[in-house]
Amino acid sequence: MAKIAIITGASQGIGRGIALHLARAGYDIGFSYCSAQEQAESLTAQIEALGRRCRAYRADMCQSGAGPAFVKQAAEELDGLNVLVNNAGRTRMQSILDLTPEVVDELINLDLKNSLFCMQTAAKIMIERNIRGSIVNITSSRAERAYPEDAVYGGVKAAIRRASQSAALDLAPYGIRVNCVAPGAIAIRSKEYLAKLKWIPTDFWEELGTRIPLERSGTPEDVANAVAFLADEQSDYITGETIRVDGGLILPGMPEGRNSTSWGARKKEE
């Protein structure tokens, strides 16, 4: 019998990479999306072409109760839930001097509250069905390393990481594991997309990669590899942990600005 993976926010970027990777690993997939219907439809077609079942659900995770309702509906229609991946989230950068209540509420509701109550819903389903499942929350390397203008975003991601540890203790008696994956700089936009934005250089990811110890920006597949490991039985004795997927980005405290010294250049000078 196929295992079921439910993923929030998977029509694009990291979530899409996770959905495809888990489908290739033999999971049937239920995923949510907010507005990218065309991308959601293409992802569904890709997964079904792999011989897996796939259901896409439109849900605005900023709305109270939307996340848990999605998880419950997907689990009912797919008849099970082995893995929940809380990926839906939004990045908002503002200096503490410019911070607005709207941004704070948005990030707390979407990135924190939604993840907490999706975890709760998934855990109750797993317990009811006697499933020793896995919950994986996508946080960020910013949960560990501070940067300017990320007081709320980084703070919220840190809160998810800390909440996951307590959830891991709450759910351990049921054999349900809770872990986090913390991406660093992940290239989720093409050069064509960056060209349309105009204010971000098209070589942004390549240039940033020169300042990362492993000398490249990450990919959605890099994150998906870590998620798949935590979802699988080979990590059956791991809970309450965070795997950082950042190529070593935050180890030297590397600034993200384009004018900082190149990591690669420093290495060559040495």
Q: Name the residue ranges covered by the structural domains of the chain.
A: 3-189+219-253
- pLDDT the model gives residue 259: 52
Per-residue pLDDT of the chain (270 residues; tens, 9 = 90+): 789 999 999 998 999 999 999 999 999 999 999 988 899 999 999 999 999 999 999 999 888 899 999 999 999 999 999 999 999 988 888 899 999 999 999 999 999 999 999 999 999 999 999 999 999 999 999 999 988 999 999 999 999 999 999 999 999 999 999 999 999 989 876 555 554 555 466 667 788 888 889 989 999 999 999 999 999 999 999 999 999 999 999 998 655 555 544 444 444 444
Active-site residue flag, 153 = yes
Give me the half-sphere count of Cα atoms (radius 13 Å) on the Cβ side of residue 115: 30
- pTM comes to 0.89
Quickly tell me which residue has 């991406």 as its tokens.
Answer: 183
Handedness of CA 155, 115, 86, 244 (dihedral sign): positive
Residue 176 has phi, psi (to 5 degrees) of: -100, 125
- pLDDT the model gives residue 36: 85
- Residue of 27, 153, 193, 237 with catalytic role: 153
- pLDDT the model gives residue 268: 44
Distances (CA, A) of 193 to 102, 130, 202: 27, 45, 8
For residue 12, give the nearest of 81, 78, 124, 89 by alpha carbon: 89
Question: Measured at the alpha carbon of residue 149, what is the angle toward residues 147 and 153, in degrees to the nearest 5?
Answer: 85
Residue type, 142: R
CATH number assigned to the domain covering 3-189+219-253: 3.40.50.720
- pLDDT the model gives residue 18: 97
For residue 40, give the nearest of 67, 62, 20, 68 by alpha carbon: 20
- pLDDT the model gives residue 79: 95
- pLDDT the model gives residue 200: 63
DSSP 8-state class, residue 129: T
